[in-house]
C-alpha cells in the first residue's frame, strides 16, 4: 500500500499524508521515532513536518529534539535528499494568547529558552530560527518554512471572538517577507507557508508579495481542519481557492478525539496525549510549559465535543469504517487539502492512518457528516 502523492509546486511533490514529529523527544524516544519514520517512509510518506519549539508540551530540556531526531534518522538511513520533503516552523511571541493563560503557565509560557523568548517576528529572529533549525537537522535546506502563527493578535486555539483591544505592536509583513526572501536566495529554504492564519493575514502576505516580484509567494497554509473544526471553510477557503494556496490540514483526528478512545468506559489509555499530559501537569512534574492547545481547543468536558464525536463514531460503525478512516478520508476529500498533517506515537496508530488514506466516502456518508455538522458546528474551533 502506497500513500498517494500530490504536486504542490512544479518541482515539489508531497504525499497526501504528512507525518508530524511533534511527539519526538517527549512521548517517543529516538529509537521509537526512527521506527515510526521507517514505517512511514516505507509506506510512501515523503512529507514530514516539525518546528523549532517541538516537542510538545514545551520545556527547555527537550526543545529542538524533534528536529534533531528527524535529522539523525535522515542521515543514518542515507536517504537521498530529493526523496523527502521537510517542513518546519519558527516560534514567534505568542502575544495575548499566553496572557490569557498567564495564571497557569507563568513566565515559562513565553518559552524564554528559544532565542530568549522572542518578543516579535522580526528579520533577526526569522534568520536565527532558520539557521538553528538547519543546525539541529544538519540538513542543507528546508523545503517548506512556515510562520507558526501570526505576529499579531488573532483569536486562536479555541477562541472565536475577535477583540480589537487585544492588538499589540507587531512586525510588519513586509519585513518578514524580506527575511524569508533572503533565506530563499541563500538556498536555506525553498518555499514559504503560513500556519494558524486568517483570511486577512493570507491576503496581506499576498499583497506585499505582489509589490516586489522577488518576494516569495505563500504556497500553503497549515491550519486545523477535521470533523470537529471546519472553520477553514468560512472565508479562508475562498482565499486559498482563488490564490492557489494549499491547505495542510493539521489535527485531522482532533488530537485523537475522533478515534473515540477518550469516550471509552476507561477514558482511554493512560499514555494517550490528552490523558498523559493532563496527569503530568496536574502532578507538577518536570514540565515547565503547558499544552495550551490541548487545554483550550480540545476540551473533553465540552458536551458538544462528546455529542458530535459520538455521532461521527456511530456513522463509522454503521458503514463498517474505522473511526480513523472516516476522519482522515473526510479531510483528504477536500479539494484544497494537499496533505493531512498527523501524529502517531505507536506503530498501530500510524498504520491506521496509512490505511485510511485509501478510503473514499460515499455521497450518502458525506450527507450524514454534514447533517451532524449542522447540529454541532465546530465544537473545537
- Which positions are catalytic? 54
CA distance 253 to 286: 28
Given a contact cutoff of 8 angstroms between Cβ atoms, the answer to whether 226 and 252 are in contact is yes
CA distance 95 to 159: 14
CA distance 99 to 110: 10
Phi and psi at residue 192, to the nearest 5°: -125, 155
Residues forming beta bridges with residue 18, ordered by sequence position = 47, 341
Q: Are strands 246-250 and 218-224 parallel, antiparallel or unpaired?
A: parallel
Compute CA 80 distance to the chain's CA centroid, rounded to the nearest angstrom: 25
Residue 49's alpha-carbon distances to 61, 158, 215, in angstroms, are 21, 23, 24
CA distance 332 to 353: 11
Compute CA 54 distance to the chain's CA centroid, rounded to the nearest angstrom: 11
Query: What 3-state DSSP class applies to 121?
Result: coil
Retrieve residue 122's grid coordinates: 522580526
Dihedral sign (CA 219, 225, 229, 230) = positive
Residues forming beta bridges with residue 87, ordered by sequence position = 49, 144
Retrieve residue 8's grid coordinates: 504542490
DSSP string, 222-240: EEE-BTTB-GGGTTHHHHH
Residue 33's alpha-carbon distances to 18, 39, 49, 73, 81, in angstroms, are 15, 10, 13, 8, 19
CA distance 35 to 38: 5
Query: What 3-state DSSP class applies to 371?
Result: helix
Amino acid at each position: 500500500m502506497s500513500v498517494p502523492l500530490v504536486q504542490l509546486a512544479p518541482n515539489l511533490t508531497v504525499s497526501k499524508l504528512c507525518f508530524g514529529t511533534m511527539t519526538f523527544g517527549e512521548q517517543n524516544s529516538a529509537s521509537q521515532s526512527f521506527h515510526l519514520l521507517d514505517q512511514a517512509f516505507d509506506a510512501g510518506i515523503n512529507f514530514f513536518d516539525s518546528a523549532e519549539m517541538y516537542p510538545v508540551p514545551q520545556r527547555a530540556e527537550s526543545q529542538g529534539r524533534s528536529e534533531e531526531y528527524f535529522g539523525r534518522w535522515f542521515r543514518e538511513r542515507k536517504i537521498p535528499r530529493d526523496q523527502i520533503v521537510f517542513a518546519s516552523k519558527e516560534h514567534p511571541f505568542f502575544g495575548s494568547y499566553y496572557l490569557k493563560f498567564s495564571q497557569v503557565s507563568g513566565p515559562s509560557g513565553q518559552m524564554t529558552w528559544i532565542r530568549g523568548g522572542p518578543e516579535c517576528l522580526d528579520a533577526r529572529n526569522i534568520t536565527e530560527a532558520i539557521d538553528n533549525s538547519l543546525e539541529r537537522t544538519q540538513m542543507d535546506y528546508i523545503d517548506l518554512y512556515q510562520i507558526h502563527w501570526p505576529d499579531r493578535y488573532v483569536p486562536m486555539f479555541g477562541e472565536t471572538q475577535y477583540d480589537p483591544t487585544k492588538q499589540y505592536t507587531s512586525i510588519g509583513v513586509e519585513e518578514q517577507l524580506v527575511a524569508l526572501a533572503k533565506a530563499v536566495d541563500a538556498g536555506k529554504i525553498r518555499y514559504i507557508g503560513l500556519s494558524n492564519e486568517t483570511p486577512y493575514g493570507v491576503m496581506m502576505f499576498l499583497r506585499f508579495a505582489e509589490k516586489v516580484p522577488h518576494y516569495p509567494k505563500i504556497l500553503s497554509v497549515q491550519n486545523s481542519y477535521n470533523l470537529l473544526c471546519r472553520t477553514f471553510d468560512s472565508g479562508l477557503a475562498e482565499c486559498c481557492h482563488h490564490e492557489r494556496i494549499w491547505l495542510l490540514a493539521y489535527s485531522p483526528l482532533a488530537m485523537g478525539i475522533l478515534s473515540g478512545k477518550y469516550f471509552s468506559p476507561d477514558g482511554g489509555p493512560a499514555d494517550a496525549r490528552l490523558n498523559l499530559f493532563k496527569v503530568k501537569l496536574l502532578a507538577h512534574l518536570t514540565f515547565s510549559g503547558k499544552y495550551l492547545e490541548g487545554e483550550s481547543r480540545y476540551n473533553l468536558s465540552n458536551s458538544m465535543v462528546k455529542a458530535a464525536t459520538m455521532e461521527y463514531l456511530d456513522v463509522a460503525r454503521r458503514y463498517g469504517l474505522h473511526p480513523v478512516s472516516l476522519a482522515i478520508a473526510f479531510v483528504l476529500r477536500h479539494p484544497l487539502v494537499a496533505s493531512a498533517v498527523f501524529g502517531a506515537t505507536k506503530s498501530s496508530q500510524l498504520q491506521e492512518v496509512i490505511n485510511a488514506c485509501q478510503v473514499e466516502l460515499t455521497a450518502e456518508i458525506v450527507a450524514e457528516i454534514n447533517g451532524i455538522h449542522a447540529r454541532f458546528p465546530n465544537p473545537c474551533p
